[in-house]
Amino acid sequence: AQSVTQLDSQVPVFEEAPVELRCNYSSSVSVYLFWYVQYPNQGLQLLLKYLSGSTLVKGINGFEAEFNKSQTSFHLRKPSVHISDTAEYFCAVMTTDSWGKLQFGAGTQVVVTP
């Protein structure tokens, strides 16, 4: 069985400061990795994904993430946040033998203040 752990439940950050959201996973088989963002009272929006290839992936809105297989991590980063980045962020895993089933972490609430 696989699991996804988001190490921070809430991350306060000042506007224009960098932010890193941590995600670790465990799985006995290969995985595909995703980050989603959820704004209040909305569904989930795909930020970026890692399927194969380069371990550094870039997504929308200036976000990027790095896949580290040895540390089983997929941390999300943004060099300079805006007020509009205030939202809940979810890390998700799909194993290669379970197509169509995403397993999500508990989420990290990012609160950006001026």
Partner 1 sequence: DAGVTQSPTHLIKTRGQHVTLRCSPISGHKSVSWYQQVLGQGPQFIFQYYEKEERGRGNFPDRFSARQFPNYSSELNVNALLLGDSALYLCASSLGTGAYEQYFGPGTRLTVT
Whether residue 86 contacts residue 110, with contact meaning beta carbons closer than 8 Å, is answered with: yes
Question: Can you tell me which of 24, 72, 86, 103 binds partner 1, judged by CB under 8 A?
Answer: 103
Cβ neighbourhood burial of 10 (10 Å; 0-12, 13-18, 19+): exposed
Between CA 94 and CA 16 the distance in angstroms is 32
Question: Can you tell me which of 36, 63, 67, 74 binds partner 1, judged by CB under 8 A?
Answer: 36
Question: Can you tell me which of 17, 46, 83, 111 binds partner 1, judged by CB under 8 A?
Answer: 46
Q: Which residues bind partner 1 (CB under 8 A)?
A: 4, 32, 34, 36, 42-46, 49, 51, 90, 92, 94, 98-107
